Amino acid sequence: MAYKCANCAKSYAQPTADYFCTDCGYDGLLIDDAVDTKLEENGGDREIGLCILLMDASGSMDQPAFPGSPLTKLRLVANSAAQGIFDLQQMGKADDAYICAMLFDNTIKQIFFKSVKELLEEHNFEVKVFANYLYEELAQMGGTTDINGALQAANSFAKSFTTRSIPNMQGYTPLEHVVLTKAGQSRVVPNVRVLLYTDGVQYIDGKSDPLVSPFKEWETDILMGAFFGDSSESGCNELRSILSKCPNHDFEQFFLLDQPSKVAHLRKLFRMASGASGFCPLCIPKE
Ligand SMILES: [Zn+2]
Ligand SMILES: [Zn+2]
CA of 158 to the centre of ligand 2 (A): 21
CA of 191 to the centre of ligand 1 (A): 42
Residue 47 in this model has a pLDDT that exceeds 70: yes
Based on the domain organization, do 98 and 32 belong to the same domain?
no
CA of 208 to the centre of ligand 2 (A): 31
Q: Looking at the domain assignment, is residue 212 inside a domain?
A: yes
Based on the domain organization, do 102 and 208 belong to the same domain?
yes
Based on the domain organization, do 35 and 138 belong to the same domain?
no
pLDDT attached to residue 124: 96
Based on the domain organization, do 209 and 225 belong to the same domain?
yes
Q: How high does pLDDT run on average in the chain?
A: 88
Q: Looking at the domain assignment, is residue 286 inside a domain?
A: no
pLDDT attached to residue 37: 35
Based on the domain organization, do 86 and 220 belong to the same domain?
yes
* Cα 231 to Cα 94, 189, 213, 240, 265, distances in angstroms: 34, 30, 20, 10, 16
Q: Looking at the domain assignment, is residue 287 inside a domain?
A: no
Based on the domain organization, do 108 and 166 belong to the same domain?
yes
CA of 207 to the centre of ligand 2 (A): 34
CA of 5 to the centre of ligand 2 (A): 49
> Could you list the residue range(s) of the whole structural domain that residue 7 is in?
3-42
Based on the domain organization, do 177 and 248 belong to the same domain?
yes
Q: Looking at the domain assignment, is residue 135 inside a domain?
A: yes
Return the ligand number nearest the Cα of 272: 2
Based on the domain organization, do 220 and 114 belong to the same domain?
yes
CA of 26 to the centre of ligand 1 (A): 6
Based on the domain organization, do 25 and 67 belong to the same domain?
no
Return the ligand number nearest the Cα of 8: 1
Structural domain count, the chain: 2
Q: Is the ipTM of this complex over 0.85?
A: no
CA of 181 to the centre of ligand 2 (A): 10
CA of 20 to the centre of ligand 1 (A): 8
CA of 28 to the centre of ligand 1 (A): 9
CATH code for position 130: 3.40.50.410
Based on the domain organization, do 23 and 101 belong to the same domain?
no
Q: Looking at the domain assignment, is residue 228 inside a domain?
A: yes
CA of 17 to the centre of ligand 1 (A): 14
Digit-coded pLDDT (tens) for 92-150: 888 889 999 999 999 999 999 999 999 999 999 999 999 999 999 999 999 999 999 99
Based on the domain organization, do 205 and 249 belong to the same domain?
yes
